[in-house]
Amino acid sequence: MLSQNTIDIVKSTAPLLAETGPKLTAHFYDRMFSHHPELKDIFNLTHQDSGRQREALFNAVYGYAANIDNLEVLLPVVEKIAQKHASFSITAEQYAIVGEHLLGTIDELFAPGQAVLDAWAEAYGLLSTVFIDREEAIYQENEAKTGGWRGTREFELVEKKPESDVITSFVFMPTDDQPVATYQPGQYIGIYLKADSFDNQEIRQYSLSGAPNGETYRISVKREDLGTVSSYLHQHLNEGDKVQLAAPSGDFFFRSEATQPVALISAGVGLTPMLAMLESIKDNHQAPIHWLHAAENHRQHAFGSHVAEIANTAEGVSSHVWYREPQGATADFEGFLDLSKLDTAVDWQNTTFYFCGPVGFMQHVAKQLKEKGVSESQMHYECFGPHKVL
């Protein structure tokens, strides 16, 4: 437990942090990487360059300071970050490095005096212990599963299949011929890549895009024009190549009762965790399943025929597709996803909604759901990259 004096001091610094903004975390990352360049093998430098990671860390630091007297409100955020850290194989030693440079940053930017530095050291010590303990529990849980492991494990790419003009699926099988751990539909795996064209090791998390089968993992990746890893996967990773994978992780997964109506809503490559959910529940869910998907056009629409077949053969599954610009191929609807088209088809107050896609799309969906009286407890979503509150 933190002393009241520490709580008061840390909480008093929250307005200063708010005023400083992401400049705080920019200074932190620059400082840490200059002393420990090896950590560039862990952090997503694309998110560093875009500012998304710095903004996410600032929000976390500020949130901790502002709520240090009521840490229970931070538990969902702690779980989300701990799951992500487990996919990066973060260690206790790395928390010590982060703490050193967080305190150094506070000292260099604000020169607040020893009492403030001591209070932040105590507060960070408590927070890091919470994360270290939770992440160790995740490592142990992953290791204890049938087919589970700790750290990374070697897999071979056994199938590479284009699903649309921009999305390709990759199926990986372990090289040790042992089973692979099951996962909750909606979770992701971490892929570790080293290539001559990379300045550093690159680690990414990609949602598993199929139901668990105990033998392989499938991810389906959109090729991004400026995406270092997605471009490498699409252009250079071939069947027979080896990669290192971390065990499945993530706090976004299907958790509804079989009698609960559900809607799986996605845009673009955001359909990947939704597809894992759909494939996992299509044969045993006892309530309606609504599949709602938005794509630019038919050329960018992945798994369209596969989902249509499920909707035609699985009882209780309905599919509704929007094309923003149809370009000659028809969908159920044209333009942006509009939930009013389904007013009579969906029981809004009793359905649980899972959604994934670009942040702007998810904000658009959340706004429509709230206007229909859907509560926040009915809504579950996943951001690809640093988390944002909708």
Residue 148: predicted pLDDT: 97
Residue 327: predicted pLDDT: 84
Global pTM?
0.93
Coil, strand, or helix at residue 84?
A: helix
Residue 389: predicted pLDDT: 57
9 close to 115: Cβ distance less than 8 angstroms? yes
Residues 6+ apart with CB under 8 A from 245: 152, 153, 155, 172, 189, 190, 191, 192, 217
Residue 56: predicted pLDDT: 79
Q: Which of 390, 152, 365 is nearest to 274 (CA)?
A: 365
Mean pLDDT by 10 residues, the chain (390 residues): 93 93 91 95 70 78 90 87 95 95 96 96 94 96 97 98 98 97 98 92 96 98 92 97 98 97 97 98 97 97 97 97 90 96 95 96 96 96 68
Residue 44: predicted pLDDT: 74
Strand partners, 265: 292, 355
User: Residues annotated in the binding site, as ranges?
Assistant: 85, 188, 204-207, 268-273, 383-386
Residue 251: predicted pLDDT: 95
Q: What is the largest CA-CA distance in the chain?
A: 68
CA 268 – CA 187 distance, rounded (Å): 18
Q: What are phi and psi of 158, to 5 degrees?
A: -105, -15
Structure tokens at 111: 């020169």
Residue 313: predicted pLDDT: 97
Identify how many contiguous H helices and E strands the chain contains and give both numbers. 12, 12
User: Residues annotated in the binding site for NADP(+), as ranges?
Assistant: 268-273
CA 17 – CA 32 distance, rounded (Å): 19
User: Residues annotated in the binding site for FAD, as ranges?
Assistant: 188, 204-207, 383-386
Residues annotated as catalytic (active site), given as ranges: 95, 135
Name the DSSP letter for residue 41. G
